[in-house]
Chains A and B, each alone.
Chain A
Amino acid sequence: MTTALEVATLVLERVRDPEGVATTINQVYDLIDRVQVLLVRGLGLMARDRTFSSEPDQTLYPVDPDETLQILDLFQGAVNRRLSPCRWAQMIQVRRDWWRYSILDGEVPETMQVWAPVGTSLLVMWPPSDTFAEIVTVREQQRPAMVTEASSVLDLPDEHLPLLQDIVEVLLLLRTKHVEAAEIAMGRLEPQKEE
Chain B
Amino acid sequence: MSNQAQNVELANFLALTSMTDTQLDAYYVESVLALQDSQVQVAASIIEVGSGVFVYDWPEDCIRILTAFYANKELTRAPVHQLDLQQRDWRSETGIPVHYVLNHEAERTVRLYPIPLLDGDPVPFPTDFGSSYPDGNLVLLYVTDNLDVPDWLDLPIACAILAKEFSRESSHCDKKAAELYLRLATVLRGIGGPP
- B16 near A175 with CB under 8 A, answer yes
Residues of B within 8 A of A12 (CB): none
- B133 near A121 with CB under 8 A, answer no
Number of B residues with CB within 8 Å of any CB on chain A? 49
Residues of A within 8 A of B156 (CB): 38
Stretch binding the partner chain, chosen from B19-27, B35-43, B85-93: B35-43
Q: Which of B155-186 contact A (CB under 8 A)?
A: 155-156, 174, 176-177, 180-181, 183-184
A136 lies within 8 A of chain B by Cβ: no
- B131 near A58 with CB under 8 A, answer yes
With known contacts A99-B73, A122-B43, A177–B188 Cβ distance under 8 A: no
A97 lies within 8 A of chain B by Cβ: yes
Report which of B76, B135, B183, B191 forms a contact with A38, defined as CB distance below 8 A: B191
Q: Which of B39-86 contact A (CB under 8 A)?
A: 39-44, 66-67, 69, 71-74, 76
Stretch binding the partner chain, chosen from B102-110, B113-121, B146-154: B146-154
Residues of B within 8 A of A80 (CB): none
Q: Which of A137-195 contact B (CB under 8 A)?
A: 143, 163, 167, 170-171, 174-177, 179, 182-183, 186, 189-190
Report which of A27, A121, A170, A176 forms a contact with B42, defined as CB distance below 8 A: A121
- A174 near B184 with CB under 8 A, answer yes
The distance in angstroms between the C-alpha atoms of A38 and B187, with both chains bound, is 11
A120 lies within 8 A of chain B by Cβ: yes
A interface vs B, CB < 8 Å?
22, 27, 34-35, 37-42, 55-60, 65-66, 69, 89, 91-92, 96-101, 117-122, 143, 163, 167, 170-171, 174-177, 179, 182-183, 186, 189-190
